[in-house]
Amino acid sequence: MKSPELENKVAVVTGAGGVLCSALSKDLARQGMKVALLGRTLSRLEELQQEIEAEGGIALALSVDVTDSVAVQEAADKILTQWGPCKILLNGAGGKLPGTVTSHPKFQPEELLSGSDTIGFLNADLNIFRKEVDLNLVGTAIPSQIFGRQLAQNGGGVILNFASMTSYRPLSKIAPYSASKAAIINFTQWLSVYLAPAGIRVNAIAPGFFVNERSRKLLYKEDGSLSPRGAEVLQHTPAGRFGEAEELIGTMNWLIHERSAGFVTGITVPVDGGFLACAGV
């Protein structure tokens, strides 16, 4: 349904090719927004653009590395020239990198041995650690700065970041992801205060456990049954299931609309099926 508040305005979505942000991008387009789809895999973004256009929406696919400030600025300039200034920025880009997930949840003596196949923190490649932090934290800061300028120059708008369950609890095996997503909540709070005089509201969504390309391998076995980790997650999720991408749409729409959340800034909203509320005992 078209939104009088958002129709013909410009939304920029980073990580748009992912399962969650592609669903959010489609909904923004249905509300009449012109949606710039930013991500690394152009083919997936072009497929999403075609899906949006088939429904009568307007979209533009751009291959962009959000940790590259020059590339993000070039994309911002192109969007500005073609459509006008950004009104809503969704910072959905992020994830885990190969080599950062430890083999075990706790220290194992094997990680001290030269040539060991066991991946632990004590033998981790901290260059990859740094790249993952850059992807999740700096990859949120760069678009916020560049598109934030457009928002500030044109009467304000909304920045919506993406945190995680790991923002609240450092899950086992994924130290750099947990640390960088914890930083997203802090950065969201800081940025909301800093940009308030410019009329920019900054909030975040913290999705619980949703099944996407990245998480499927962790949550399911090849035969389609739950992995031990997937079973453990559901044991701590009172809803008893994983989330569906469309279940983020309501929270997004609440936070981006001035009529419903004009006095809301600096918060992170969990959409988690009760995961954070469950102590597991």
pLDDT for 243-279, tens place per residue? 999 999 999 999 999 999 999 999 999 999 999 999 8
93 and 153: one domain? Answer: yes
253 and 179: one domain? Answer: yes
What pLDDT sits at residue 176?
96
201 and 228: one domain? Answer: no
50 and 185: one domain? Answer: yes
Let me know if residue 264 belongs to a domain: yes
Residue 94 reports pLDDT greater than 90: yes
Helix 249-256 / helix 19-30 crossing angle, nearest 10 deg: 50
Let me know if residue 86 belongs to a domain: yes
Q: Of 92 and 232, which is predicted with more confidence?
A: 92
194 flagged as catalytic: no
What pLDDT sits at residue 149?
98
What pLDDT sits at residue 151?
98
Let me know if residue 168 belongs to a domain: yes
Confidence of residue 144 (pLDDT cuts 50, 70, 90): very high
pLDDT for 169-187, tens place per residue? 999 999 999 999 999 999 9
76 and 169: one domain? Answer: yes
Alpha helices by DSSP H, listed for the chain, are: 19-30, 42-54, 69-82, 126-133, 139-153, 175-195, 213-219, 228-235, 249-256, 258-261
| Cα angle 18-19-21, degrees, rounded to a multiple of 5 | 65
Structural domain boundaries enclosing 227: 215-242
Phi-psi region of 249 (alpha: psi -120 to 50; beta: other; left: phi over 0): alpha
Residue 265 sits in a domain of what CATH number? 3.40.50.720
pLDDT for 5-38, tens place per residue? 999 999 999 999 999 999 999 999 999 999 999 9
150 and 229: one domain? Answer: no
Burial of 172 (0-12, 13-18, 19+ CB in 10 A): middle
pLDDT for 38-48, tens place per residue? 999 999 999 99
172 and 221: one domain? Answer: no
Let me know if residue 1 belongs to a domain: no
Let me know if residue 261 belongs to a domain: yes
25 and 70: one domain? Answer: yes
Residue 224 reports pLDDT greater than 90: no
Let me know if residue 279 belongs to a domain: no
**pTM value > 0.85:** yes
232 and 140: one domain? Answer: no
Let me know if residue 274 belongs to a domain: no
What pLDDT sits at residue 1?
79
What pLDDT sits at residue 40?
95
Let me know if residue 188 belongs to a domain: yes
Domain count, the chain: 2
161 and 221: one domain? Answer: no
- What rounded mean pLDDT belongs to the chain? 95
What pLDDT sits at residue 160?
98
The average pLDDT across 159-167 equals 97
What pLDDT sits at residue 209?
93
Catalytic residue among 168, 177, 194, 220: 177
220 and 94: one domain? Answer: no
Q: Decide: 58 and 35 in contact? Cβ < 8 Å.
A: yes
What pLDDT sits at residue 20?
96
226 and 264: one domain? Answer: no
What pLDDT sits at residue 218?
76
Residue 229 reports pLDDT greater than 90: no
